[in-house]
Structure 1
Amino acid sequence: MTETAKRSVLFDPLTIGGMTIPSRIIKTATTETMSTEDGFVTDELVAFYELYAEAGTPLIITGNFYTQRSGRVYNRMPGADHDDKIPGMKRMADIAHRHGSKICAQLSHAGRQVFQPATLDDPVSASAVSDKFSGIKPREMRIDEIRSFVEGFARAAERCQRAGFDAIQIHASQGYLLSQFLTPYTNRRQDAYGGSAENRLRILLDILKAVRERVGEGFPILIKLNGDDALPLRKGLKTPDLVEIARVLEDHGLDAVEISVGHYESGFPTIRGNFNRFFDTLLNEGIGQEYPRGKQRSMRLSKGILAALSNRLWPHSEGFNLGYAEQFKRALKIPVICVGGFTGPDAMAEAINTGQCDAVSIARAMIADPYLVRHIRRQEIGPQCRFCNACLAHVGARAVDCSHPEVVTERAAMLERERKRCFGNAA
């Protein structure tokens, strides 16, 4: 099979619920840090997504929208918690549709994975289990709060639909609130929402049912789910447990699943790469500036060791979640999307051709090259992500952008070429 033939699978259509997209390269969610402090969409946020739409990205999954203000992870995170957010969200949907892209709103609640002062309310979780990464000690959600949260999530989904979004994604991975309910380590409840696997899944099934009642049949509902909790020596979920969760959700009307890995407390299996610049950037330019002084001091003293250890434990590889995704693919009929370090078309096509997933989703490589889909279609090479992770170290403190000096220069030159090409065609 020629390289061109191998790559052609990337531009085969894919149906997710009532939506069909013309390609299998998806923009996955990235925390943008571009909304107002009150969670309203800004010009900056709209412009950020317009680049991906201009590139012909078939499906854009946004960074997470909070469904309740208490569920914010960071400052400048967009919200879908009130009707007054709909006009701004509509601008995002309209800009995607203007260029022929579909757009999916990721909806989430941080639970215990929140960094003060991002949230004004006291952090909540399935149980009062401290987060060793952030140091946050949440309190256990009351039953009435769970019911309110389920209804609020469904209302947020309906707002996304009213704003013109083509789908929503329920964020139940990477240690956020719904992941905290699923995982025995973080869910130690003794009521209907804790204990057995069935009880721990209850809140997610409640949300899926409530959302479907709001948005109707045919409107695509996706979920982001871990392939492994990556919580050694703790009661985390393993791949067979999570595959069974996905199978139950499929039986209850889920339309697609995206596979990720880990909790914040896991370290960095979610963002494998090179960490030589990560900790410096986190402390000097990122959310680390808001850490308690003692934590900042200890991190500054140990940053070299932390970087070396992280480099050893979590090196970059393309498709590092494929081993998990393949097991979901074997068990499910709905599309399985895999995120995790993809950058080149050959690895993407191989993942689909070998039946390990139905589509790939990308974050960092698209931050480096927002025109990645266009470049793959034309068999051109754009700026290449170095997976230095400095872009992610800025999350919550400033707008997400590529931070590798060489790539930034290449990216600026590429965007200028694309603008000239666009204006030339228009002329």
Structure 2
Amino acid sequence: MANLFDPLEVRGVRLRNRIVMPPIATERATPRGEVTDWHLAHYEAIATDGPGLLIVEHTYIRRDGRVSDRQLGVYDDALIPGLARLAQTIKAAGAAACLQITHAGARTTRDLIGAQPVSAWTLPVPGDPETPRALRREEIQQLARDYAEAARRAQAAGFDAVEIHGAHGYLLGQFVSPLTNRRTDDYGGSLENRLRFPCEVIRAVREAIGRDLLVLYRFGADDLTPGGITADDAERIAPILAGAGVDILDVSGGLGGSGRDRFTEQGYFVLLAARVRRAAGIPTIGVGNVRDPEYADRVIRDGLVDLIAVGRAQLADPDWVAKARRLLASRE
């Protein structure tokens, strides 16, 4: 059975260990969404003798899809050189580099983007203040192309992988959740219809980048809100996402962050990720306030997940991985 420091190869991309740095927003970009020297230093510190896979924080695919004026962007070819410096920095330190691409949908604000936010339907994400307008069919199709263009830019910048953000109440999650999608066309209604747009995005991304890059999907596998997506739904959704072209499912939950603050234990989404793994038959990432190396090693050894995300602990101590290696070696 694999352990925390065994390598993992997924379709030709080799990860030196099973630890993932998940995407955590830093809001340190320029107002145009450009990479800064701060990003280079920040991610180099984490990548050095660090995780096997480093997922860079969410980058917006269009200006109307950002959630802050200091969020990283991937909406224009002019941003590729800065992103290339970032990818090169991460890879030179030994980690595989992944870029998360996203559109906020209803989670942004009119004040920020200068227009009414868009979504699957005219329903706000629970807990968010903005009422969006429903996207027209031609706009949905254009957005799929925009995701694909963002992935192409990530590839041009030298990233090993892209992660499509489909969790936490962002646009793709707004289509999947019945709490935010009341459409009556073929993008709404049944679970299969609500998955249509995310699957179109996945296929468009795969077509744009070919087979050279890994495609990850940040999967909102439980809305943690009555009437929303449940773990049982996730078992039906996961194989559909895998069939559309996803290589790795990064399993999280909470619609717009709802419900996650109730958890204090380590690995609060790991058992959910294990269910998703069995259903989809592809590698999964477990997440949820993981901080103890022995716990992280155990969930890998037990075969619950293939990779384990350690976020806040690595932010607090960029040497967490090196210290974990020494600790586990001393226990053998």
Quickly name the TM-score band, shorter chain normalised: over 0.9
Bigger Rg over Cα: 1
Note closer, same or farther for the CA distance 1:205–1:352 as it changes in structure 2 (3 Å cut).
same
The answer on 1:245 being equivalent to 2:193 is: no
CA distance in 1, matches of 2:144, 2:5: 37
Deviations 1:223-254 (A, max 9, x none): 0112311112xx21111212221101212321
1:349 aligns to what?
Answer: 297
1:205 aligns to what?
Answer: 199
The answer on 1:377 being equivalent to 2:330 is: no
1:159 aligns to what?
Answer: 153
1:134 aligns to what?
Answer: 128
Given that 2:178 and 2:228 are in contact with CA atoms closer than 8 Å, whether structure 1 keeps it comes out as yes
1:122 aligns to what?
Answer: 116
Deviations 1:12-33 (A, max 9, x none): 1112333120100100000110
1:184 aligns to what?
Answer: 178
How many residues are treated as equivalent by the alignment?
A: 328
1:49 aligns to what?
Answer: 43
CA distance in 1, matches of 2:117, 2:281: 37
Given that 2:222 and 2:254 are in contact with CA atoms closer than 8 Å, whether structure 1 keeps it comes out as yes
Deviation at 1:98, TM superposition (A): 1.6
1:328 aligns to what?
Answer: 276
Q: Which amino acid aligns with 2:97?
A: I
Given that 1:127 and 1:186 are in contact with CA atoms closer than 8 Å, whether structure 2 keeps it comes out as yes
CA distance in 1, matches of 2:113, 2:290: 32
Q: Which amino acid aligns with 1:94?
A: Q
The answer on 1:16 being equivalent to 2:10 is: yes
Range moving further from structure 2, 76-85 or 95-104: 95-104
The answer on 1:263 being equivalent to 2:252 is: no
Given that 1:55 and 1:370 are in contact with CA atoms closer than 8 Å, whether structure 2 keeps it comes out as no
Note closer, same or farther for the CA distance 1:219–1:315 as it changes in structure 2 (3 Å cut).
closer
Q: Structure 1-normalised TM-score?
A: 0.74
Given that 1:21 and 1:58 are in contact with CA atoms closer than 8 Å, whether structure 2 keeps it comes out as yes
The correspondence for 1:220, drawn from 210, 214, 218, is: 214
Deviation at 1:116, TM superposition (A): 5.5
CA distance in 1, matches of 2:123, 2:82: 36
Tell me the SS of whatever aligns to 2:107. Answer: coil
Given that 1:259 and 1:336 are in contact with CA atoms closer than 8 Å, whether structure 2 keeps it comes out as yes
The answer on 1:76 being equivalent to 2:70 is: yes
Given that 1:13 and 1:23 are in contact with CA atoms closer than 8 Å, whether structure 2 keeps it comes out as yes
The answer on 1:105 being equivalent to 2:53 is: no
Structure 1 stretches lacking a partner, 5+ long: 1-5, 273-313, 381-427
Note closer, same or farther for the CA distance 1:355–1:179 as it changes in structure 2 (3 Å cut).
same
The correspondence for 2:246, drawn from 254, 269, 293, is: 254
Tell me the SS of whatever aligns to 1:130. Answer: coil
The correspondence for 1:338, drawn from 286, 305, 313, is: 286
Deviation at 1:165, TM superposition (A): 0.5
Deviation at 1:56, TM superposition (A): 2.7
Structure 2 stretches lacking a partner, 5+ long: none
Given that 1:74 and 1:119 are in contact with CA atoms closer than 8 Å, whether structure 2 keeps it comes out as no
2:228 aligns to what?
Answer: 236
Note closer, same or farther for the CA distance 1:56–1:363 as it changes in structure 2 (3 Å cut).
closer
1:368 aligns to what?
Answer: 316
The answer on 1:36 being equivalent to 2:40 is: no
Q: Structure 2-normalised TM-score?
A: 0.95
CA distance in 2, matches of 1:23, 1:263: 30
Deviation at 1:350, TM superposition (A): 1.4
1:145 aligns to what?
Answer: 139
After superposition, the CA RMSD in angstroms is 1.6
CA distance in 1, matches of 2:38, 2:76: 21
CA distance in 2, matches of 1:69, 1:17: 32
Runs of 4+ more than 6 Å apart: none
CA distance in 1, matches of 2:319, 2:283: 24
Note closer, same or farther for the CA distance 1:344–1:115 as it changes in structure 2 (3 Å cut).
farther
Tell me the SS of whatever aligns to 1:342. Answer: coil
CA distance in 2, matches of 1:31, 1:116: 21
Given that 1:70 and 1:122 are in contact with CA atoms closer than 8 Å, whether structure 2 keeps it comes out as no
